[in-house]
Structures are given as C-alpha cells and as structure tokens.
Structure 1
Amino acid sequence: MTTPDNDLDTRLDAATVTTLAEISRTDAKSGVLLTSFSLPLAALVAVVPGHDLPPTVGILVGAGAVGLIAAMLAVLVVVHPRLSGAPRGNFLHWSLCTPEDLVRDLQTSAAADRATQVIHLSQIARRKFVGLRLAGIITGVALVALGAALLVALAWPGM
C-alpha cells in the first residue's frame, strides 16, 4: 500500500524527470537552431561582399542578416547557464556547501525542498522555451526579408 508521502515522492520524482527532459529538449533544439542559422549567414558573408546590390536588395539582405544574428543571440541566451538562485537539493547549491552542509542537505528529503526544486527547474525550462519561441519569430521575419531580397534581385533588370 502506498502512503500519501510515497505517492507525493513518486509524483515529485516524475515532475523532476519530466522537467529535466524538457530542459534537455530545449538545449538540443538550441544546438540545431544555431547550426541552422549559421548556414545562411555564412552563405551571405561568402556571397554578398564585393557585389553591387540594388539599394532595396541591400537593405533587405542587411535586415535578414541582422535578423539571423539576433536569432542566434536569442538562442545563445537560451543555452547560457544560470548559476544563481539554485534551491537546496541541487548541484549548484551543493557547489557552495561544506561537506557537512552537503550531508545535511542530502539527509533532508522534505517534499517542500523537492517541490521548490521542481518549480525552479520549471522556471528554467519556461525561460528556455520563451527564448526559443522568440528566436523562431525573429528567424521568420529574417527569412521573409531574405526571400523578399531574392525576389527583388531576380526581378531587378541587369541582375
């Protein structure tokens, strides 16, 4: 028979595992996005310099490049570790402990401490998702600008 405390421990463990998986997922997506953003930016850097672009095309290419750079910066903020404000029961907290403090912390498995840790991890995951969403929106705008630059360049006489 499970007691209410055992049931709560099980749910807190599941919540911790789920939240850590979401953090991992956002970090994996961030790596893919950084790689994806760098490819068109590298192409622009390789192709555009030294070419006389019509003013409209130049402005659109510039806006697209700035957008890709902004999206990359947003993703870098997502993966940037936050090292302050760690709750008890967390390796960041333990890094500041004495051996005695660590033993005392590990002996305490209070549900409130574990719940605080789940909340803290959930806040980290939420910030990461918000950052990825922002990077996606910025990328969409940058791609529209780059697509428009391509269309204008194709329609421009003599290009």
Structure 2
Amino acid sequence: MSHVDTALPAAHAEVKAEIARTDTKTGLLLAFVGAVLASAWTVARDLPMNLPAYVVGGLGMAVLVAAAGLLLWSVRPNLRGRHGFPLWATLTAEEIGAAVARDLAADIAGLSRVAVAKFTCLRRAVDLTLTGGALLILAALLTAGGAR
C-alpha cells in the first residue's frame, strides 16, 4: 500500500471533521446570536430610550440579524449531488465503491471548498456578531447616559 493510498483517506476524514467542527461552531454561534437578539429586545422594550439609542440599537439588531442569516446560509444543505449522500443516493452499492475508489481526490477537493465556504461564512458572522454586540452596548450606554 503506497503513501497516497493511506494519505487520501486520512485527508478525506480530516476535511469531513473540519466541516463537522465548523457546523458545530456555527450552531453554537447561532444560538448565542438568537439569545442576544431576544435579550436585547426584551430589555429595550421596557426601557425609556432616546433617539440616538434607538438608532444605534436598531442598527445593532439589524447587524445581528444579518449575522444570523449568514450562519443559516453556511449550514444550508447543498443537495445538488456533487458530494456525499445526494450523489450516493442515486448509485448502487457497486457504483458507490467504484466512485469512492476512483474519485476520492476529487471528493477531497470538493469537500475542502465546502469547508472553506462554511468557514468564511462563520468568520464573517463572528465579525458581524462582534459589531452588533458593540452597537448594542453603545445603545445601552446612550440610554444610561441620557444623551439627547
């Protein structure tokens, strides 16, 4: 068995594990963003806020909603059949074995592109979450300080 014969399955498993880790992080961040949105809405509803706080808080909420949208986009199922079970669902058992043996390197490349796209969405969502959180904190400070 050559080095390539052992390296390809290891690379394939590594890429699939990276996709799973990214999906887990995305799920946790989505839950966090949802909790922040719900909490901010609950708190803001009961506070007497001024116009600058409304504007900044509204912008912060909009940024957090955009972050949630990115997170949902990154975990959206891709059923075009290029990789994984959608393709395999159309094949017989013998065809799956032949496809995996023949196209493992192509599958690794395709899954790697999927992983990078998911990671990019996650990274952007983290940046938006930080920005939205900062805007909500600024809105809270404007409310507490009574800026007019």
The amino acid that maps onto 1:117 is D
- Quote the Cα distance in structure 2 between the aligned partners of 1:104 and 1:79: 28
The amino acid that maps onto 1:7 is H
1:19 aligns to 2:15 (yes or no)? yes
Residue correspondence of structure 1 range 97-136 to structure 2 within 5 A: 97=91, 99=92, 102-107=93-98, 109-110=101-102, 113-136=103-126
- Give 1:46 deviation, angstroms: 1.7
Matched with 2:38 is 42
Larger radius of gyration: 1
Matched with 2:89 is 95
Deviations 1:68-118 (A, max 9, x none): 11111110011111111415xx32212123x3xx413413512xx110000
TM-score when scaled to structure 2?
0.90
The share of aligned pairs that are identical, in percent, is: 30
Structure 2, unaligned runs of 5 or more: none
- Give 1:50 deviation, angstroms: 5.7
- Quote the Cα distance in structure 2 between the aligned partners of 1:52 and 1:154: 10
Q: Which has the higher contact order (CA 8 A, sep 6+)?
A: 2
- Give 1:52 deviation, angstroms: 3.8
After the TM superposition, list the runs of 4 or more consecutive aligned residues in structure 1 that deviate by more than 4 angstroms: none
Further displaced range: 50-59 or 114-123: 50-59
